[in-house]
């Protein structure tokens, strides 16, 4: 009674060992019966390789040449079996034609009854000779397992059927092996895209963009549906590499329970993993998932599986009846299934959720709320308030010189209000990334350094303005130059900093839209300043004083000032409206990431 349990344990050890190391030397005796390599994935359905023979009839002792050929392959396993009972032991024996790439194996009690590879070198064809035994069945069929890559292989590829020459009964149909193969080793393939039906009522769903259709080529979809003591999980999204989701106790990667669907040679491998900080995920050797299925179509990767709510025997697996932050990431993978770091921020839920609790239909964001607020405040400050404040101070001093607000000239009050608003918004925005990161970020390149420079200049400007000399002071000209140069430097650095920040993973506005839109804003502002400069120059030329005709001078000045005031007010109105358009565009983009 002890022997069967011991045999099962030995078989499990062999398969687990093989799933790590494979059989590069072709010693595949453990697969003699099933002809299935323990490579941890499902076999392919449609064969790419063929088996041919040089005859269709045989007598005991005859030699039949057997050829296996097709696209490059690394490993193979050839047997001959009773065509009417394909699950029976191997029949006959083989003789090698090339000992460099093939070797003889003994399956069961028949010596040299199978042939396999000797190494992983790529091959296009293999030739061997089969020797018919004296007790051969009436009909014999050749079968082959072919390994193209570690996780891409075909099992029991059907070859020709040869019959004894004195047998009158017809051979069984050739397609019987193919049917048996597809029945014995079904591919867990999803037949159609997932459906959002039941989201929020029967299952817990995460979708990005919000309320998107899982069948869409731009929709990231993750659903959880509790079924008694297990949860059925569906995941899909536009990816030709991998999709992964993780359950986390916080909004930072590390110490998380992860589930990956990886595209390997146009087949999908589903695995669990443990995330340790920001390092490469450690894929688990033991599979805790059931009912695994997948689909690859039109650039969309889909996979589904079932997992028990509690897995006390596995330390890395979290209980599914607890609240977690949920991550959903996509990235590239090599043909062999090696995954690379995702090139953009994962989608993350905005709070802790219990996937086995009341069903919900929620969204997720790639940008944390604090980082969104940081970007939005910076855009308001440096696209709107500071730009309008500069235009007012430079071109509206003569226009609004006779208008007063709270005892000061109108242009000065408007300029000061806008600039102080810029400093306030910049200061608040400056603090938010440090609150989110808990310190300095090493992942943001030059962006934080330039941001600190902008913050310092923004604070220095109002401090310097507080010590502004009087209009008639000899130091007023120096102040004017320092004030202008500091402000201009801050504005240039702010634009450069925003250019760099828009493509950081934590925000990552859509490319190349963000770059073109920022270039458009810069051109809009510079164009407005150039237009007003040209207008001011033309106005001065128009009212040049002719010393001998003072009446004409006064008339020219009066009409020119009126004309210039109206033009500048129209330009300012159009400019403010344009800035609002740019601001709304950026704020809309931020809200959608």
CB 555 within 8 A of CB 414: no
191 CB burial (10 A radius; 0-12, 13-18, 19+): exposed
List Cα–Cα distances, 13 to 18, 269, 302, in angstroms: 8, 21, 31
Alpha-carbon span 458 to 441, nearest angstrom:
22
Give the pLDDT score at 18.
40
Average pLDDT (254-268) is: 85
Q: What phi and psi values does residue 230 have, to the nearest 5 degrees?
A: -135, 170
Q: Which residue has the higher pLDDT, 99 or 38?
A: 99
Give the pLDDT score at 337.
67
Average pLDDT (550-566) is: 56
Q: Is 123 found in the same domain as 272?
A: no
Average pLDDT (11-40) is: 59
Q: Is 538 found in the same domain as 496?
A: yes
CB 240 within 8 A of CB 301: yes
β-sheet with 93-96: strand ranges across: 50-53, 63-73, 123-131, 93-96
Q: Is 472 found in the same domain as 400?
A: yes
Tens-place pLDDT, residues 404-442: 777 788 888 999 999 999 999 999 999 999 998 888 888
Give the pLDDT score at 33.
84
Residue 115 binned pLDDT confidence (cut-offs 50, 70, 90): very high
Which one of 320, 343, 365 terminates a domain? 365
List Cα–Cα distances, 277 to 246, 282, 318, in angstroms: 13, 11, 17
CB 305 within 8 A of CB 290: yes
251 CB burial (10 A radius; 0-12, 13-18, 19+): middle
Which one of 133, 164, 195 terminates a domain? 164
Give the pLDDT score at 166.
81
Q: Which residues pair with 127 in a beta bridge?
A: 67
Alpha-carbon span 343 to 505, nearest angstrom:
8
What burial letters (b/e) apply to 327-342, b meaning 16+ CB within 10 Å? bbbbbebeeebebeeb
Residue 391: give the domain boundaries: 369-592
Give the pLDDT score at 547.
42
Q: Which two tokens stand for residue 403?
A: 């208008």
Give the pLDDT score at 474.
86
Domain total of the chain: 3
Q: Indicate whether 211 pLDDT > 60.
A: yes
Q: Indicate whether 161 pLDDT > 60.
A: yes
Domain membership of residue 256 (yes or no) is: yes
Q: Indicate whether 331 pLDDT > 80.
A: yes
Give the pLDDT score at 19.
38
CATH of the domain at 401: 1.20.120
Instruction: Report the range of poorest mean pLDDT among 260-264, 377-381, 484-488.
Output: 260-264
Q: Indicate whether 284 pLDDT > 80.
A: no
CATH of the domain at 352: 2.60.40.1210
Domain membership of residue 184 (yes or no) is: no
Beta strand pairing call for 404-405 and 361-363: unpaired
Q: Which sign does the torsion angle of CA 261, 262, 268, 271 carry?
A: negative
Average pLDDT (477-492) is: 92
Q: Which residue has the higher pLDDT, 526 or 466?
A: 526
Residue 563 binned pLDDT confidence (cut-offs 50, 70, 90): low
448, 539, 435, 427: which is closest to 498 by C-alpha? 448
SS3 of 89-133: CECCEEEECCCCCEEEEEECCEEEEEEEECCCCCEEEEEEEEECC
Q: Is 442 found in the same domain as 567?
A: yes
Beta strand pairing call for 256-264 and 50-53: unpaired
500, 493, 424: which is closest to 457 by C-alpha? 493
Q: Which residue has the higher pLDDT, 450 or 19?
A: 450
Average pLDDT (135-163) is: 90
Q: Is 374 found in the same domain as 352?
A: no
Catalogue the E-assigned strands of 137-266.
139-149, 152-164, 204-208, 220-227, 230-238, 242-248, 256-264
Domain membership of residue 18 (yes or no) is: no
Give the pLDDT score at 367.
82
259, 257, 276: which is closest to 318 by C-alpha? 257
Looking at 466-549, list the stretches that DSSP marks H as alpha helix, in order from N- to C-terminal side. 476-501, 513-542
Q: How many CB atoms lie within 10 A of CB 129?
A: 16
Average pLDDT (75-94) is: 92
Return mean pLDDT, the chain: 84
Average pLDDT (438-465) is: 90
Give the pLDDT score at 70.
92
123, 127, 129, 103: which is closest to 25 by C-alpha? 103
Domain membership of residue 219 (yes or no) is: yes
Instruction: Report the range of poorest mean pLDDT among 119-123, 454-458, 557-561, 585-589.
Output: 557-561
Domain membership of residue 182 (yes or no) is: no
Give the pLDDT score at 543.
58
Alpha-carbon span 94 to 64, nearest angstrom:
9
Alpha-carbon span 299 to 146, nearest angstrom:
28
CATH of the domain at 103: 2.60.40.4060
Q: Which two tokens stand for residue 520?
A: 């458009």
Alpha-carbon span 425 to 583, nearest angstrom:
15
Q: Is 212 found in the same domain as 118?
A: no
**Model confidence, pTM:** 0.60
Q: Is 574 found in the same domain as 470?
A: yes
Average pLDDT (475-486) is: 90
Q: Is 397 found in the same domain as 519?
A: yes
Q: Indicate whether 552 pLDDT > 60.
A: no
Residue 503 binned pLDDT confidence (cut-offs 50, 70, 90): confident
Q: Is 361 found in the same domain as 374?
A: no
Those residues whose C-beta lies under 8 Å from the C-beta of residue 172, and which sit 6 or more positions away, are 83, 84, 139, 161
Instruction: Report the range of poorest mean pLDDT among 107-111, 250-254, 274-278, 549-553.
Output: 549-553
Give the pLDDT score at 29.
65
477, 467, 490: which is closest to 389 by C-alpha? 490
| Residues recorded for the chain | 593
Q: Which residue has the higher pLDDT, 7 or 295?
A: 295
Give the pLDDT score at 359.
95
Q: Indicate whether 99 pLDDT > 60.
A: yes
Longest dimension (CA), the chain: 134
Domain membership of residue 282 (yes or no) is: yes
Q: Is 382 found in the same domain as 355?
A: no
Domain membership of residue 86 (yes or no) is: yes
CB 582 within 8 A of CB 359: no
Domain membership of residue 188 (yes or no) is: no
Tens-place pLDDT, residues 166-195: 877 666 766 444 333 333 334 467 888 899
Q: Indicate whether 391 pLDDT > 70.
A: yes
Q: Which residues pair with 487 in a beta bridge?
A: none
Alpha-carbon span 222 to 231, nearest angstrom:
12
Q: Is 440 found in the same domain as 338?
A: no
Give the pLDDT score at 230.
94
Q: Which residues pair with 129 in a beta bridge?
A: 65, 95
Q: Is 36 found in the same domain as 151?
A: yes
Give the pLDDT score at 368.
83
Which one of 335, 365, 395 terminates a domain? 365
Looking at 296-446, list the stretches that DSSP marks H as alpha helix, in order from N- to C-terminal side. 369-379, 386-395, 410-437
CB 380 within 8 A of CB 425: yes
Q: Indicate whether 589 pLDDT > 70.
A: yes
Q: Indicate whether 560 pLDDT > 60.
A: no
Reduce the DSSP state of residue 57 to 3 states and report it: strand
Alpha-carbon span 42 to 19, nearest angstrom:
12
């Amino acid at each position: 009674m002890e022997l069967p349990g011991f045999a099962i344990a030995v078989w499990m050890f062999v398969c687990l060992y093989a799933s790590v190391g494979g059989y590069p030397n072709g010693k595949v005796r453990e697969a003699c019966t099933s002809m299935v390599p323990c490579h941890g994935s499902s076999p392919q359905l449609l064969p790419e390789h063929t088996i041919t023979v040089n005859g269709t009839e045989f007598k005991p002792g005859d030699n039949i040449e057997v050829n296996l050929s097709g696209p490059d392959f690394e490993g193979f396993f050839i047997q001959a079996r009773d065509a009417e009972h394909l699950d029976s032991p191997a029949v006959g024996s083989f003789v090698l034609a090339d000992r460099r790439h093939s070797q003889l194996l003994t399956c069961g009690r028949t010596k040299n009854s199978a042939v396999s590879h000797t190494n992983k070198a790529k091959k296009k064809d293999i030739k061997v000779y089969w020797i018919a035994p004296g007790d051969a069945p009436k009909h014999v069929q050749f079968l082959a397992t072919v390994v193209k890559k570690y996780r891409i292989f075909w099992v029991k590829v059907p070859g020709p059927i040869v019959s004894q020459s004195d047998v009158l009964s017809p051979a069984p149909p050739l397609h019987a092996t193919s049917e048996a193969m597809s029945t014995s080793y079904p591919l867990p393939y999803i037949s159609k895209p997932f459906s959002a039906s039941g989201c929020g009522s029967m299952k817990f769903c995460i979708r990005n963009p919000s309320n998107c259709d899982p069948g869409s080529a731009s929709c990231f979809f993750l659903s959880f549906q509790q079924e008694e003591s297990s949860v059925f999980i569906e995941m899909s999204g536009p990816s030709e590499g991998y999709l992964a989701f993780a359950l986390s106790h916080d909004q930072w990667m590390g110490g998380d329970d992860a589930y990956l669907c990886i595209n390997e040679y146009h087949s999908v491998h589903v695995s669990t993993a443990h995330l340790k900080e920001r390092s490469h995920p450690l894929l688990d050797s033991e599979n805790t998932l059931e009912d695994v299925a997948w689909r690859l179509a039109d650039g969309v990767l889909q996979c589904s599986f079932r997992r028990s709510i509690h897995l006390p025997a596995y330390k890395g697996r979290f209980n599914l009846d607890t609240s977690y932050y949920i991550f959903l990431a996509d990235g590239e993978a090599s043909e062999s299934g090696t995954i690379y770091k995702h090139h953009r921020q994962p989608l993350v839920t905005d709070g802790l959720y219990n996937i086995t609790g009341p069903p919900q239909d929620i969204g997720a964001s790639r940008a944390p709320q604090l980082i969104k607020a940081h970007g939005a405040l910076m855009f308001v400050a440096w696209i709107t308030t500071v730009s309008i404040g500069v235009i007012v101070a430079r071109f509206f001093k003569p226009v609004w010189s006779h208008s007063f607000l709270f005892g000061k000239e109108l242009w000065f009050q408007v300029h000061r209000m806008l600039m102080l608003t810029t400093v306030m918004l910049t200061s608040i925005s400056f603090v938010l990334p440090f609150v989110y990161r808990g310190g300095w970020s090493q992942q943001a390149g030059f962006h934080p350094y330039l941001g600190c420079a902008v913050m310092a200049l923004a604070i220095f400007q109002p401090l310097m303005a507080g010590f502004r000399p009087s209009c008639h002071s000899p130091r007023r000209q120096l102040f004017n130059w320092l004030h202008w140069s500091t402000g201009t430097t801050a504005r240039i650095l702010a634009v450069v900093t925003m250019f760099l920040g828009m493509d950081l993973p934590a925000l990552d506005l859509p490319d190349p839209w963000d770059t073109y839109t920022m270039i458009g804003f810069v051109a809009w502002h510079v164009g407005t300043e150039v237009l007003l400069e040209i207008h001011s120059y033309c106005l001065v030329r128009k009212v040049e004083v002719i010393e001998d005709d003072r009446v004409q001078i006064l008339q020219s000045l009066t009409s020119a000032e009126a004309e210039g005031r109206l033009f500048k007010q129209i330009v300012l109105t159009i400019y403010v409206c344009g800035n609002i358009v740019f601001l709304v565009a950026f704020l809309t983009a931020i809200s959608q990431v």
